[in-house]
Amino acid sequence: MKKKILLFTIVISLFIFLIGCTNQATVDEKNLKVEELQNQIEKHDQKIKELEEKNNSYEIKVKNLEEERDSYKRFIDKAIKYLDDDEMVKLARGEWIYSIEVDGQSVPSDGEIEIDKKYFEIIYSERQSILSSLTQEIYEQGSISGEYFDHLKIKDAKPKNIKRGDGTVVTGFIYEFENLSPNTSFKLEISDELKDRLNLQTNIISIYIK
């Protein structure tokens, strides 16, 4: 009988011990998870602080740029009062930027360009100034005359497709070419007006396919 009681006591003691160990392991695991979460919270807090500091810095930069822009605009408003009509038109021309790119390359002043592709694009674009102090009448005199196709003609080749892209201040005409034979060339003929805007020495842009 005493042996049974002793055995029962040992079993109960082991059971209580195991429960205690299990509870302690559970507590330790929970503490570890809490610590990990606290570390994550601290990291997020630090990241938020860094972003807030950057945001404040950007706000200061934007404010400075706006003040600088307004200062320039006030100066221009005063300066243009002393310009005659020809000078005003010349100023307006600077508000309209024209470019021609062949496969991403700007056309050099001699109009000679080489490419090593059968598939490429020619982009003829017009970019307007975002902010102008000129009157609308004078401002519009800065653009080239007529329609875009009056100023550029393609000789000895035919594009697969012609697309037009219109943005707020940029208008682009995209000529897509494909399957052109190697060791051949074709030409773009541009008007005197566009030649002047592109600062080229020639009215003929020669494109050679390697």
What range defines the domain where residue 146 resides?
A: 95-209
Note whether residue 89 is domain-resident: no
Say if residues 203 and 185 touch (Cβ distance below 8 Å). Answer: no
C-alpha to C-alpha distance for 21 and 17, rounded to whole angstroms: 6
Number of domains, the chain: 2
Q: Which residues pair with 73 in a beta bridge?
A: none
The tokens describing 194, both together, are 């566009």
3-state class of 132 per DSSP? Answer: coil
The pLDDT of residue 101 is 93
| 103 and 204 co-located in one domain | yes
DSSP labels, 9-23: HHHHHHHHHHHHHHH
Amino acid at 71: S
49 in a structural domain = yes
Chain mean pLDDT for the chain: 78
pLDDT in tens, 1-40: 545 555 545 545 555 544 555 555 454 565 566 677 677 7
Same domain? 41 vs 5: yes
**Residue 167 — very low, low, confident or very high, per pLDDT cuts 50/70/90?**
confident
**Quick one: tokens of 111?**
């109009």
Query: Is there a single domain that holds both residue 118 and residue 59?
Result: no
How far is Cα 67 from Cα 75, in angstroms, rounded to an integer? 12
In a domain, 128, yes or no: yes
In angstroms, the CA 162 to CA 176 distance is 6
Closest residue by Cα to residue 22 from 14, 32, 33: 14
Same domain for 118 and 171, yes or no, is yes
Q: Is residue 63 part of a domain?
A: yes
Residues 100, 63: one domain? no
Please report, rounded to a whole number, the percentage of residues in the chain having pLDDT higher than 70: 72
Same domain assignment for residues 47 and 106: no
My answer on whether 126 and 170 are in the same domain is yes
- Please name the residue that has the structure tokens 């943005």: 167
